Structures are given as structure tokens and as C-alpha cells.
């Protein structure tokens, strides 16, 4: 059985490891691959109960960091070479250390990416880090992704490059009996249950977040107990907590690590949490009131996200201080259970496992892709576009026919392209548009909203570039320059030479072939001649989608 290697992030968090273990266990249950998690975590608490094989490197504290990094990288490379994985799965965001490992250079690679704030995503894209993966699986719903403030270029790359797949939220969903058992264990008398968690307990900044959060909640619990309030607090500090000691009381239970944290969060009447991806997903699966306490978190933008979640699902956002949290917790204890919930996606894990199996399958030896040519035929006025399509020889069946009489976007100078033999990306609407003059006052966003994703320019147009730059749409409109050729039945070699010269310098090209000056009786023979030539070349006549994907892929290469 071949190995599937999971390369998890290491630092002060646990959510990424919990997500990776959830996927690895699903891969193991499928029985086709042997999952192996490679880690360098300071605490092994998460790994104690998993059936998945784990190789955890020790943290090397007693040598200079550069030496430790070089040693770890060398050992990791040797280990991966020995494991000979069929597929490598990385987590959360790209890691340059993994990209440079020789043992992974020729392996299929997947990235399972949790939500990132818009700026971080854009920076990763601009560095070209996404281009090293065969596929990026985004553990979010598409609608939620659009709320993160991503740039137009990033949205265009995700939408059109073909590298990204939205699989939905991935989180462990505890069964009802597990939730009931955990609740009974912590509050056997049915008292209100307040669960406090700040992730794994580490501080990404030296601001004492964990110490302030748990000390405040302990003081609030003591004040409620003095008043005779029945609430019970469970403080799950995380194994990396380094704040002041916390003391258990009749109403406060302290746990450094809770293996059933998903069930505990789902059982809470009030969940006071740092709104990281995993803890938030697990709390949203329950009905408890939310008190979200953002902290600095790498690439997550928790402040903005916490306010969006509170507005959508109900709850409040506070700071890790008693002056902020006491009123919020007291208010939450008086409220009825939330009605809005976010259960984990029933299909997300299945989609990820399918993608892993697909990438791990032996494939035929790779072949160099042919040159791509989007050939756009401009019909003579005397020939209806549908009639011209019917006359196309088999070798030109994938050519597009420009119907200049249709103004698909309602703008002078923008004519829609209809594609023969291929479904439209937006049903009933064009995907590309030809621009041959100043687009005028219509904003680019109106073009995008109509379904247009690619602008084809007859020649570089400063007016069109200004039009895009001054009011950039979202997702971005991608643009490509076309080579315009006037057909001549006496000189088919003119088309052949111009097209060959163009494709020598680029992987994909657009050619506008104007048939307008040709006698109708000679058009069919001319098309047969150039179609026969094209069929003998290392090129593939393609549709708009392939050119669009090629342009979008440029946005991922940095």
C-alpha cells in the first residue's frame, strides 16, 4: 500500500493538526492509502488517540535556529525519500520549506487551505506560491470565501485557473450521544455550562492573551458563584498555555487538554472562544451563545471575521479582559439557545479524500501540452454565423464564430463571442468579449456581472487599460491581445506564417481571422486549407475557457 504524507504546520496552534488528522483518518478508513502525518509539535496530546501513523520531530531548542532548521530540513528530506509517498498533502497555507525539498519535487501535491484573510491570500498568490500545487482545496463555502475581501485578481485566479476547488467547512462533528456524555460529565446537575478556550494556548504576540482571557473568566466565575449563580465554567487552556496558574473551584474546572473538545463546545450554553477556524466551527455546530474574543492570528484576520460571524449567527465580540467579558457572559447566560447553526459539511471530507485518491493514482507519463490557439472567425456579411458554423471542416470545429450583430453586453465596441460545441460558463451569456474601441462610460463591473470574464483586444488599447484600472471590477477582467489577420483565398500561407510566428513566442494565442473580403463560394475551400494545416501542427484549437484559464494561471505564478 502506497503512503499519503500529511505535512502539517507547527507552531502554537492545534486547529490545523486537528483538521489534518480528521482527513488522515478518513483516508485510512477508505483503505486505499496509508496516511502518515509528519509533524514537529511541542505537545503530543493530540496524537495520543489517533489510529494514524505519526512521525513527530522534536523541537531542537539547544542549537542556533539556522542549524536546527538545516538539520530538520535534511532529515525531513531523507524521511520523505524513504517513505516514497504517492501524494503529499500540505495544510493551511503554502510552506516554502516543503517546496524546496528534493524528495517532493516530482510528487503530486495538494494544499488543504482553511480560510485566509484577503490580504494574506493576495500576498501568497503574488509570490507564486499557489502555482506549486496540482490542486488547492479550500475548506470554505464559496459564499463565505467571497466575504473575506479578496482582490479582483485573486478572485479571477480562483474562479478561472482550474486549480482551486471549494469543498466546504471541515470540522469534527460529534454525535449526539457524545455531546450528551460530555455535558453530563461536566455538569451532571444540568447547570448552565460555560466553556472557555483560546486555541492551543500559545501567544502569537507577547501580549499575554491566554493569561488575560483565562484569568478574567476565572474572576467572572468567582463573582457569579458568590452571587449563587449555578453556572459552571470549564477552562480548556491548551497545552501551550504559559500564563498564571489557574485553580479549580466548585464552579471552575481546568483542563490543559480535552480530547473531546468538539463535543464540549457543542454542549456549551455559552462558548467563550478565540474564533479560530476549528473551535469556531465546533461551537457553531452547537446551540450555545457565542462570546468571540479575537487575538492576533496568522493570516486569519480574526477581528473582522468575528464581527461577521456574530452578525450572521448571533453572539458578541469582546476583548480578553474582565471589563469587556463580564457583561457579555452575564448577558449570554440569560439568552435562549441560538437557532442559527453551521454544521460541518457532509461532503467536505469525501471531496478531499476523492482528490487525494485521484492525485495518488498512477498516471501515464506526462506529455508536453500543445500550443493553444483560440481561432475567432469573423463571418462575411453575406453569410449568417450559423451557416458559417455549419460549413466548418472537422479540423476547425472548435473555432469560435464572431456574431458582430449581437451586442451581448449592450456596449458599443464590445461584441460577444459564441463558442461552437462547448457549454457556456454562464448559461445563456457570453464568456469573452471583443473590444475594439474605448468602452465608454459603462463600468467594468457591469461587464463582469453580465458573465464576461475575458476581454480580447484587437490591439493594446490605452483607453481600455485606463477603463479597467480606474474602476477595477471583482473578479478582475482578464485581458489578452489578439492577432488580426485578413483572410485571402489566394494567400492561405499568410495566415499560416502569421500564426506560426505568434505561437513560437507564447503558449496560447488568439487570432481574429476576418473572412469579410472573401467571395462566399471560396470560403469553404479556404477554411479546409487552413484547417488541414492546423491539424498537422503541434497546436490545439481551443475555446475561450482554456485561454481564460491560461491567463488566470499567470496570476498564480507571481
403-461 pLDDT, tens digit per residue, is: 655 544 334 344 444 433 333 333 445 688 887 766 767 788 988 888 889 888 887 77
Q: Is 307 helix (H, G, I), strand (E, B) or coil?
A: helix
Distances (CA, A) of 222 to 184, 218, 230, 250: 22, 6, 11, 9
pLDDT at 185 exceeding the cut of 90:
yes
> Are 252 and 323 in a shared domain?
yes
Q: Is 195 helix (H, G, I), strand (E, B) or coil?
A: strand
> Are 415 and 474 in a shared domain?
yes
> Are 160 and 303 in a shared domain?
no
Domain membership flag for residue 519: yes
Residue 94 belongs to domain with CATH number: 3.40.50.2000
Q: Check residue 113 and give its pLDDT.
A: 93
Please count the structural domains in the chain: 3
Domain membership flag for residue 340: no
Distance separating alpha carbons of residues 150 and 152, to the nearest angstrom: 7
Prior bond to 260 cis, omega within 30? Answer: no
Cα 92 to the chain's mean position, in Å? 10
> Are 523 and 465 in a shared domain?
yes
- Is residue 129 a contact partner of residue 100, using CB atoms and an 8 Å limit? no
pLDDT at 256 exceeding the cut of 80:
yes
Least confident piece of the model among 145-149, 271-275, 352-356: 145-149
Domain membership flag for residue 338: no
Q: Check residue 423 and give its pLDDT.
A: 30
Q: Check residue 414 and give its pLDDT.
A: 47
Domain membership flag for residue 105: yes
> Are 69 and 104 in a shared domain?
yes
Segment 544-556 shows an average pLDDT of 90
- Give φ, ψ of 36 to 5 degrees: -135, 125
* Other beta carbons within 10 Å of 466: 12
Where does 147-250 have alpha helices with state H? 152-160, 176-186, 209-226
pLDDT band at 489 (very low <50, low <70, confident <90, very high): confident
> Are 24 and 127 in a shared domain?
yes
- Is residue 180 a contact partner of residue 263, using CB atoms and an 8 Å limit? no
Q: For a pLDDT cut of 90, what percent of the chain falls above it?
A: 56
Least confident piece of the model among 296-300, 323-327, 513-517: 296-300
What residues form DSSP beta bridges with 113?
138
Segment 73-90 shows an average pLDDT of 95
> Are 41 and 10 in a shared domain?
yes
Segment 173-193 shows an average pLDDT of 94
- Is residue 455 a contact partner of residue 477, using CB atoms and an 8 Å limit? yes
Q: Check residue 60 and give its pLDDT.
A: 60
pLDDT at 252 exceeding the cut of 90:
yes
Q: Is 364 helix (H, G, I), strand (E, B) or coil?
A: coil
Domain membership flag for residue 366: no
Q: Which of 259, 263, 251, 250 is nearest to 181 (CA)?
A: 263
pLDDT band at 179 (very low <50, low <70, confident <90, very high): very high
Least confident piece of the model among 391-400, 418-427, 442-451, 519-528: 418-427
Render pLDDT for 538-548 as a digit per residue (tens, 0 to 9). Answer: 999 988 888 89
**Residue ranges of E strands in 463-529:** 478-481, 483-486, 508-514
> Are 118 and 150 in a shared domain?
yes
Render pLDDT for 325-372 as a digit per residue (tens, 0 to 9). Answer: 999 999 999 999 998 888 767 799 999 999 999 999 987 777 788 999
pLDDT at 183 exceeding the cut of 90:
yes
pLDDT at 78 exceeding the cut of 50:
yes
Distances (CA, A) of 199 to 21, 47, 114, 173, 526: 16, 16, 15, 18, 69
pLDDT at 549 exceeding the cut of 50:
yes
> Are 327 and 352 in a shared domain?
no
Instruction: Label the pairing between strands 400-402 and 414-419.
Output: antiparallel
Which position has the higher pLDDT, 156 or 73? 156
Q: Check residue 413 and give its pLDDT.
A: 42
What residues form DSSP beta bridges with 87?
4
Q: Check residue 437 and give its pLDDT.
A: 67
Which position has the higher pLDDT, 374 or 415? 374
Q: Check residue 519 and give its pLDDT.
A: 84
Name the range with the highest mean pLDDT among 165-179, 315-329, 337-351, 506-520: 315-329
pLDDT band at 517 (very low <50, low <70, confident <90, very high): confident
Distances (CA, A) of 532 to 32, 93, 399, 513, 536: 46, 47, 13, 16, 7
Q: Check residue 63 and give its pLDDT.
A: 59
> Are 210 and 149 in a shared domain?
no
pLDDT at 62 exceeding the cut of 70:
no
Segment 385-411 shows an average pLDDT of 74
Domain membership flag for residue 343: no
Domain membership flag for residue 518: yes
> Are 77 and 204 in a shared domain?
no
> Are 115 and 27 in a shared domain?
yes
- Give φ, ψ of 491 to 5 degrees: -130, 65
Domain membership flag for residue 400: yes
Which set of grid coordinates corresponds to residue 435? 473590444
- What mean pLDDT is reported for the chain? 88
Domain that includes residue 30, residue range? 3-170+348-360
Q: Check residue 369 and give its pLDDT.
A: 82
Q: Check residue 403 and give its pLDDT.
A: 63
Amino acid at each position: 500500500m502506497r503512503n499519503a504524507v500529511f505535512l502539517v504546520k507547527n507552531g502554537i496552534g492545534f486547529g490545523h493538526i486537528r483538521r489534518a488528522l480528521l482527513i488522515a483518518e478518513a483516508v485510512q478508513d477508505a483503505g486505499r492509502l496509508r496516511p502518515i502525518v509528519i509533524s514537529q509539535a511541542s505537545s503530543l496530546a493530540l496524537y495520543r488517540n489517533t489510529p494514524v501513523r505519526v512521525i513527530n520531530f522534536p523541537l531542537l531548542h539547544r542549537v542556533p535556529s539556522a542549524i536546527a532548521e538545516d538539520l530538520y530540513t535534511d532529515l525531513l528530506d531523507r524521511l520523505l525519500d524513504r517513505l516514497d509517498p504517492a501524494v503529499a498533502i500540505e495544510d493551511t497555507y503554502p510552506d516554502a520549506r516543503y517546496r524546496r525539498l528534493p524528495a517532493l519535487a516530482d510528487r503530486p501535491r495538494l494544499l488543504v487551505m482553511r480560510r485566509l484573510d484577503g490580504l494574506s491570500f493576495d500576498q501568497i498568490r503574488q509570490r507564486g506560491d499557489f502555482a506549486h500545487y496540482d490542486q488547492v482545496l479550500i475548506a470554505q463555502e464559496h459564499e463565505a470565501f467571497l466575504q473575506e475581501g479578496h482582490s479582483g485578481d485573486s478572485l479571477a485566479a480562483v474562479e478561472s485557473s482550474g486549480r482551486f476547488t471549494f469543498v466546504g467547512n471541515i470540522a469534527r462533528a460529534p454525535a449526539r450521544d457524545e455531546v450528551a456524555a460530555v455535558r453530563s460529565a461536566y455538569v451532571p446537575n444540568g447547570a448552565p455550562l460555560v466553556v472557555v478556550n483560546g486555541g492551543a494556548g500559545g501567544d502569537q504576540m507577547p501580549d499575554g492573551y491566554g493569561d488575560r482571557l483565562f484569568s478574567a473568566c476565572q474572576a467572572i466565575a468567582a463573582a457569579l458563584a458568590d452571587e449563587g449563580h449555578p453556572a459552571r465554567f470549564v477552562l480548556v487552556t491548551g497545552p501551550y498555555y504559559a500564563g498564571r496558574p489557574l485553580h479549580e473551584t466548585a464552579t471552575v474546572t481546568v483542563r490543559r487538554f480535552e480530547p473531546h473538545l468538539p463535543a464540549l463546545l457543542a454542549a456549551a450554553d455559552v462558548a467563550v472562544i478565540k474564533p479560530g477556524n476549528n473551535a469556531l466551527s465546533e461551537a457553531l455546530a452547537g446551540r450555545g451563545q457565542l462570546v468571540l474574543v479575537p487575538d492576533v492570528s496568522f493570516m486569519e484576520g480574526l477581528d473582522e471575521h468575528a464581527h461577521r460571524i456574530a452578525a450572521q449567527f448571533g453572539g458578541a465580540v469582546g476583548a480578553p479582559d474582565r471589563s469587556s467579558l463580564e457583561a457579555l457572559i452575564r448577558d449570554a447566560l440569560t439568552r435562549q439557545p441560538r437557532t442559527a447553526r453551521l454544521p460541518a459539511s457532509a461532503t467536505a471530507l469525501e471531496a478531499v479524500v476523492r482528490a487525494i485518491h485521484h492525485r495518488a493514482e498512477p498516471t501515464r507519463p506526462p506529455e508536453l501540452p500543445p500550443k493553444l490557439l483560440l481561432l475567432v472567425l469573423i463571418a462575411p456579411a453575406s453569410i449568417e454565423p450559423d451557416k458559417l458554423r455549419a460549413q466548418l471542416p472537422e479540423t476547425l470545429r472548435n473555432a469560435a464564430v464572431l456574431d458582430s450583430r449581437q451586442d451581448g453586453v449592450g456596449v458599443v465596441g464590445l461584441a460577444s463571442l459564441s463558442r461552437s460545441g462547448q457549454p457556456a460558463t454562464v448559461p445563456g451569456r457570453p464568456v469573452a468579449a471583443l473590444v475594439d474601441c474605448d468602452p465608454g462610460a459603462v463600468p467594468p463591473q457591469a461587464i463582469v456581472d453580465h458573465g464576461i470574464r475575458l476581454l480580447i483586444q484587437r490591439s493594446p488599447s490605452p483607453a481600455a487599460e485606463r477603463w479597467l484600472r480606474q474602476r477595477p471590477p471583482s473578479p478582475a477582467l482578464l485581458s489578452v491581445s489578439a492577432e488580426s489577420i485578413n483572410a485571402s483565398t489566394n494567400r492561405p500561407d499568410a495566415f499560416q506564417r502569421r500564426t506560426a510566428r505568434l505561437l513560437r513566442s507564447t503558449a496560447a494565442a488568439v487570432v481574429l481571422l476576418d473572412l469579410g473580403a472573401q467571395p462566399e463560394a471560396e470560403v469553404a475551400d479556404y477554411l479546409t486549407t487552413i484547417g488541414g494545416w492546423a491539424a498537422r501542427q503541434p497546436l490545439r484549437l481551443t475555446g475561450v475557457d482554456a485561454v481564460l484559464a491560461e491567463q488566470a494561471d499567470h496570476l498564480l505564478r507571481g
